[in-house]
Structure 1
Amino acid sequence: MTNDLADAQRAHLARLDQAYAALLAEHGYDGVLLYSGRAHRHFADDQHASFATYGHFLHWVPLAGLEHSWLLIRPGQAPCLHFHAPRDFWHLAPQLPEEAWVEAFEVVYQEDGEAPRLPRGHFAVLGEVSEAQAERLGAALNPEALTLALDELRVRKSAYEVACLREANRRALAGHGAARDAFLAGGAELDCQLAYLKAARIRESALPYQSIVGINAHGGVLHYQHYDAEAPRQAHSLLVDGGHRYRGYCADITRSWAGPAASDDYRALLAGMDRLQRQLVGELAPGIGYVSMQERMHRGLAELLVAHGLVKASAEAAFETGITRAFCPHGLGHLLGLQVHDVGGRQDAQGRPLPPPPAHPALRLTRPLEAGMAITVEPGLYVIPMLLEPLRQGATAGMLDWARVEALGDHGGIRIEDNVVITGTGNDNLTRDLEASP
């Protein structure tokens, strides 16, 4: 950990201290207790599922994977970390790192992981806590107004958080490069995933989400969840959606590559999608509405489909008839931070729910952009038979060159995703900047 990062983290914690004090006063609480959470056992088994530390706890304590710990925050007092450190010979007990941020906390080591007794006053408790636990504590359980206010606090990132996101991107990009090389060397999906993990220096359970590694048609399955152990006879394409986590903060990057057997149409569309993605990123700045950017993506996609002959009608017709939504059913992007799909994306600045428009139900970010937001930008183009089949009927039946569309089926799809921080005057593309650096 560098001195610069340590200084930025101190400033981040000071910012949180002030913001929590103001929000607790506004909502009428003397303090709040944050629970890190715990892993759950599989049904009728003694094995546990993978675990993610509660985001609001992680906002303060940069220890992803820490279970059974509690953080008590009271205005005017040092935050008190009840750190679960059991005496255990079956597992290695967690330890606090020798880092400067620890000095900002009062630390109480405890073996049992039980919630600490609260002092007199009006407190809230947040996290995966039962009603019975909250009743014993005498605290309000996950009050909606306070939770939404704390969600909103995570929307705009501090300099420390941006630095963590940048480092997560750097590590994820190392994995992407290795996965690409494994693919071009004739590897299977499993080979690409193993190469990703090795280059990114991360174990699979520590990833912020399961990597999507789709060769050929599997690249058209949006959340493809398997890794074939055998390479296909012909390698048309590879799509890798892979991330990383640094001090709790997530990278979420997607890249698509042409294989040795890729068609000319696929190669041309891949280049066109890369240009479109860069254009969309170039338009991002404070005040830009992300719903309007979703529309901009679909209009750009319509132009691309027409320019490359997949659609024989006008770009306006491709957009208005919903053809582009069949080729790309997902949203342009989402907020990014301590969660891959971070909190606060579908609400306005006052914390009120703001659902996506009916035409784009999968859009996870419906609010105007603000300085400090970290977002993803991920336009896609896929050949998904169940979505394209209805276009063979009605007004759209003669609007597509079906032979060319079907020929792309073996290539699956294209998605290009960068992680971008909105600045006061424009944006900082964490992903492309690192790709371009030596």
Structure 2
Amino acid sequence: MPNLTLHHQSNNMFSAQTYTDRRQKLAEAITEGLILLPGNGEAAMNYTGNTYPFKQDSNFRYFAGHNRPDLVLTVDAKSGESYLYGDDPTLDDIVWMGEQPLVKELAERIGARHGGRLDQLEPALSRATTVHFLPPYREERRRQLRAWFGTDRSPSKALIRAVVELRAVKSEEEIAEMNAAVRTSLQMHEAAHRNLQAGMTEAEVAGLIEGLAISAGGRLAYPAIVSRDGHILHNHHHSNTLRDGDLLLIDAGAESPSGYAGDITRTFPVSGELTDKQRAVYDIVDRAKTEAIAALAPGKPYREIHDASARTIAAGLKELGLMKGDPAAAVEAGAHALFYPHGLGHLIGLDVHDMEDLGEDVVGYDDEFRRSTLFGTRNLRLGRRLRENMVVTVEPGIYFIPFLTDRWREGGKHTDFINYDALAAYRDFGGIRLEDDVVVGAAGARVLG
């Protein structure tokens, strides 16, 4: 059942040459065999005809552009020739959803050839001596791969590496799309701040910001986090009523019509003014964010920037009397993770956590930088050296998590660095996180939006 919005999708795509160039670079990296890039299909919400909002596979969209379900792209790695497969709309499709372009027209728009119907794809696969495909993340894709090949096969490591290499660095036209997504994201946060008042529910704020994302021609890039319980890192329920004195943490980003994501976090006082205690913690987080953005540079390991942000947070908490000892030693031991149990950020692009369907360690780490095994630091998704025109999130935070504090205190954990007695006054504080999306540049970082 075709998606209603697809008839106008051509305005949200790059030129045919852009997609042709991307596929040519991919073919040159693989050199032999057939590259198979299936798009996503519709996902039924509660019956076949009632589907979730369609989300195209980002790897397919990067190389084929189209935001239409049930398409498959193949690329001959030797010749670079590309073929687009799919079924044309039926009469019933047109009656219910309006006229849609034929697959042949879709192929022409991206500089590819028309391969034929979907049932004509399997013979083409059987003729190939080697077929390269990426790891499936939907069960429907796994079943389809088994049907095509008659058995389970392993994803292509060479294709994974090639795709990560191409997508990790953004072109100027991609950055322009991401800037548009971030501008909408900031408008969402500004509207929430402007309308925020005691007595509102989290759900009212969540509805306001999601409506703005849809009004801009896209949708949310990920389920919005709108929570006065900011110490719960990915809290998606919106049932609380906001009170004076509460902090409201909003982690929400819009997706542009072209599919590129924004990812912004702000923390607002419901009463309009931060208390002195809240301001002191907020300023530490803001300082960690500002310093991290200033440190972004090609060739700089993101792991080093993360560790520096953790030292800034540990030093700030020491000034408040909540930590003690040497901040650098505290970070090396992992004591800061009681307050900062996640990484500084991640790559962002067509996915809000860009390409993580290909494997977090493949995308964010390499032979030079391995993932830490320490609690907290092991959640850092990006540790490798940065490259010019990578786009990353920078999102430090400080959280007071009662369960974690109790568990560590009972176990006598990091008593040389943590002043547990002083934490009693912060038990109901919640959490503060601040986040921007930033382009890594040779002449300095550029904050999007």
Name the TM-score, length of structure 2 as normaliser.
Answer: 0.80
Cα gap change, 1:339/1:401 in structure 2, threshold over 3 Å: closer, same or farther?
same
1: CA distance, partners of 2:267 / 2:403: 22
Of 195, 201, 209, 1:196 maps to: 209
Conserved? CA contact 1:35–1:70, under 8 Å: yes
Q: CA deviation at 1:96?
A: 5.3
The residue matched to 1:104 in structure 2 has which SS?
A: coil
Tell me which amino acid in the other structure corresponds to 1:256. Answer: T
Q: Which amino acid aligns with 1:69?
A: L
Indicate how the Cα distance of structure 1 residues 362 and 382 shifts in structure 2: closer, same or farther if over 3 A, else same: same
Q: Give 1:231 deviation, angstroms.
A: 2.0
**Change beyond 3 A, Cα 1:199–1:304:** same
Alignment check: 8 A CA contact 1:155 1:373 kept: yes
Correspondence for 1:214: 227
Paired residues of 2:89 and 2:100 also in contact (CA < 8 A): no
Q: Deviations over 1:253-299 (max 9, x none)?
A: 11111232753111221122112201111001011111112211110
Contact 2:107 / 2:114 at 8 angstroms: preserved in 1? Answer: no
Q: How many residues align?
A: 420
Q: Which amino acid is 1:158 matched to?
A: S
Shift of residue 113, structure 1, vs aligned partner = 7.5
RMSD of equivalent CA atoms: 3.8
What do residues 210-242 of structure 1 show as CA deviations (whole Å, max 9, x unaligned)?
Answer: 000012xx11100101112x5234341111111
Question: Given the alignment, which residue of 390, 395, 401 partners 1:384?
Answer: 401
Secondary structure (helix, strand or coil) at the match of 2:362 reads: coil
Q: Deviations over 1:354-392 (max 9, x none)?
A: 541112211111211111211111111001112222443
Mapped to 1, the partners of 2:366 and 2:210 lie a distance apart of: 38
Q: Aligned with 2:253: secondary structure?
A: strand
Decide whether aligned partners of structure 1 residues 348 and 396 sit closer, same or farther in structure 2, where only a CA change above 3 A counts.
Answer: closer
Q: Write out aligned runs for 1:10-409 (5 A).
A: 12-25=18-31, 28-29=32-33, 31-41=34-44, 48=51, 52-64=55-67, 66-74=68-76, 76=79, 79-87=82-90, 88-89=92-93, 92=97, 95=100, 102=109, 104-107=111-114, 115=121, 117-118=123-124, 120-124=127-131, 126=133, 128-129=141-142, 130-135=144-149, 142-184=155-197, 186-201=199-214, 206-215=219-228, 218-228=229-239, 231-246=241-256, 247-260=258-271, 262-316=274-328, 318-343=330-355, 346-347=361-362, 355-359=370-374, 360-393=377-410, 394=412, 396-397=414-415, 400=418, 402=420, 405-409=423-427
User: Using a 3 Å threshold, how does the CA distance of structure 1 residues 94 and 222 change in structure 2: closer, same or farther?
Assistant: farther
SS in 2 for 1:191: helix
AA of the residue aligned to 2:378: P
Question: Percent identity between the aligned chains?
Answer: 28
Structure 1 distance, partners of 2:285, 2:425, is 18
Alpha-carbon separation, structure 2, partners of 1:428 and 1:357: 28
Distance 1:113 1:387 in 2: 54
Distance 1:180 1:395 in 2: 38
**Distance across 2 between alignment mates of 1:388 and 1:54:** 40
What CA distance in whole angstroms lies between the structure 1 residues aligned with 2:268 and 2:346? 23
Residue 5 (structure 1) shift: 9.4
Compared with structure 1, are the counterparts of its residues 309 and 139 closer, same or farther at alpha carbon in structure 2 (3 Å cutoff)?
Answer: closer
TM-score scaled by length of structure 1: 0.82
Q: Distance in 2 between matches of 1:52 and 1:118?
A: 27
The answer (yes or no) to whether the contact 1:12–1:158 under 8 Å persists in 2 is no
Q: Which runs of 5+ in 1 are unaligned?
A: none
Query: Kindly tell me: are residues 140 and 95 of structure 1, through their superposed partners in 2, closer, same or farther at Cα, counting changes over 3 Å?
Result: farther
CA distance in 2, matches of 1:12, 1:402: 56
Any stretches of 5+ residues in structure 2 without a counterpart? 1-7
Q: Is the 8 A contact 1:373 1:421 kept in 2?
A: yes
Kept in 2: contact 1:285–1:424 (CA 8 A): yes
Change (3 A) 1:121 1:328: same
Q: Secondary structure at the match of 1:346?
A: helix
| CA distance 1:139–1:32, change in 2 (3 Å) | farther
CA contact (8 A) 1:327 1:387 kept: no
SS in 1 for 2:263: strand
Shift of residue 55 of structure 1?
2.2
